Amino acid sequence: MRFVAYGLTIASEIPVQGLPDSTCEVQVTIRLGRVEKPACDTNAPRAYVNIAGELRIFWRGVGTFLIRQGREILIEPEPDAEEALVRLFLLGPLLGILLHQRGVLVLHASVVSVNGYVVGFMGEKGWGKSTTAAAFNAKGHALVTDDILAVVPGMDGAFMVQPGPPQFKLWPEAAAASFGDDPETLMRLHSRIEKRERSANTGHIGEPLPLRRLYILDRGEQLECIPMSPAAALLSLVRHSYLSGIMKSLGSVERNFRQCAQLAEQVPVSSLKRPKDLGALGSIVELVKQDIGVVEREAETEMVSEAR
């Protein structure tokens, strides 16, 4: 089958549901085959080796994978691995690694388009990136990507977001709070986890969109957006790089730092403080909309001043 994700036309021997079809020239192939397992301790949960643009990586209970030159993924599932689990890794870490091999800046974030104004949410694991994006989607704002943010330079110097799969990965209580869903009607990602797969409400975005603002989710007694300095923003972007745990092994620390620095210089980053309360999602949506409204008015004022 062929599908499109993150601006790439992909031919895959592993079926993937819910992604847009493509008749364009194939840029990436995903095949099943034999992959040599990296050397590791018997009980190691993960092992990897990176040589000359080829990463071999092993996840216990899932499989062994080869990601090669940003063009090919070879998959050897473990004998008892669930197909749903293999597919989850394919659409997450494996495509994240492949995008990185292609020179793309890959961040851990969920992104929505609010009346054409594209904003992303970053934060530590379990801090509500997908949940926050789902709350926007439930109010009619399109999902651009969930979990993986692939950023590429645009023709005019803007940083563009490549659209990801139009699907959320949500905990049951988050699906209920954001969409009002009965979680029992949603499919689990796989049998080992309670997270559910939830299709986005709006149609798929097919073209890259300019990234206008990023929010770092944080805890706070009250809702507030606090602009970050470029230096603080840079540190946050590096910390929330999608492959931060293996960046050194990939030999890409300097490249990733440089890409994050360029992004921090051009895209405003703010700390979004909010209480740990799913009941506050509606207020978070309104706060962010007010915040980017201020940004838009300031931009219009600057344009008028420049014209004079």
**Per-residue pLDDT reduced to its tens digit, 202-241:** 777 889 999 999 999 998 888 999 999 999 999 999 999 9
Is the pLDDT confidence value at 112 over 80? yes
pTM: 0.90
| Inside any domain, residue 83 | yes
Is the pLDDT confidence value at 301 over 80? no
Give the pLDDT of residue 300. Answer: 54
Residue 302 carries which side chain, given as an amino acid letter? Answer: E
Is the pLDDT confidence value at 308 over 50? no
- Cβ atoms 166, 137 nearer than 8 A: no
Give the pLDDT of residue 299. Answer: 52
- Cβ atoms 217, 269 nearer than 8 A: no
**183 vs 306, higher pLDDT:** 183
Residues 177 and 216 in one domain: yes
| Inside any domain, residue 20 | no
Q: Structurally, how many domains does the chain consist of?
A: 2
Residues 88, 103: Cα–Cα separation, whole Å: 23
Residues 51 and 118 in one domain: no
Kindly state the percentage of the chain with pLDDT values over 70: 95
Residues 187 and 284 in one domain: yes
Which among 50, 4, 54 is positioned nearest to 27, based on CA atoms?
A: 4
Residues 176 and 198 in one domain: yes
Residues 226, 230: Cα–Cα separation, whole Å: 13
**256 vs 42, higher pLDDT:** 256
Compute the radius of gyration of the chain from its Cα atoms. Answer: 20
Residues 147 and 111 in one domain: yes
Exposed / middle / buried, residue 263 (Cβ in 10 Å: 0-12, 13-18, 19+): buried
Mean pLDDT, to the nearest integer, of 109-129? 92
Give the pLDDT of residue 293. Answer: 87
Give the pLDDT of residue 148. Answer: 96
| Inside any domain, residue 247 | yes
| Inside any domain, residue 24 | no
Is the pLDDT confidence value at 154 over 50? yes
The pair phi, psi for residue 178, each rounded to 5°, is -80, -50
| Domain membership of residue 76 as a residue range | 31-101
Question: What is the signed CA dihedral for 149, 154, 156, 158, rounded to 10 degrees?
Answer: 10
* Least confident interval from 64-78, 103-117, 118-132, 282-296: 282-296
Residues 149 and 199 in one domain: yes
Mean pLDDT, to the nearest integer, of 169-191? 91
| Confidence category of residue 200, pLDDT binned at 50, 70, 90 | very high
Which among 59, 58, 61, 65 is positioned nearest to 35, based on CA atoms?
A: 65
Residue 18 carries which side chain, given as an amino acid letter? Answer: G
Mean pLDDT, to the nearest integer, of 140-153? 94
Which of these three, 43, 72, 101, is where a domain ends?
A: 101
| Inside any domain, residue 269 | yes
Residues 33, 152: Cα–Cα separation, whole Å: 31
What is the average pLDDT score of the chain? 90
| Confidence category of residue 20, pLDDT binned at 50, 70, 90 | confident
| Confidence category of residue 302, pLDDT binned at 50, 70, 90 | low
Place of tokens 């990601």: 67
Mean pLDDT, to the nearest integer, of 22-26? 87
Q: Which residues contact 26 (CB under 8 A, 6 or more apart)?
A: 2, 9, 10, 11
Question: Do you know the residue count of the chain?
Answer: 308
Residues 148 and 260 in one domain: yes
| Inside any domain, residue 14 | no
Per residue in 248-300, pLDDT (tens digit) is 888 899 999 999 999 999 999 999 999 888 888 999 999 999 999 844 544 55
The pair phi, psi for residue 290, each rounded to 5°, is -65, -40
Residues 75 and 204 in one domain: no
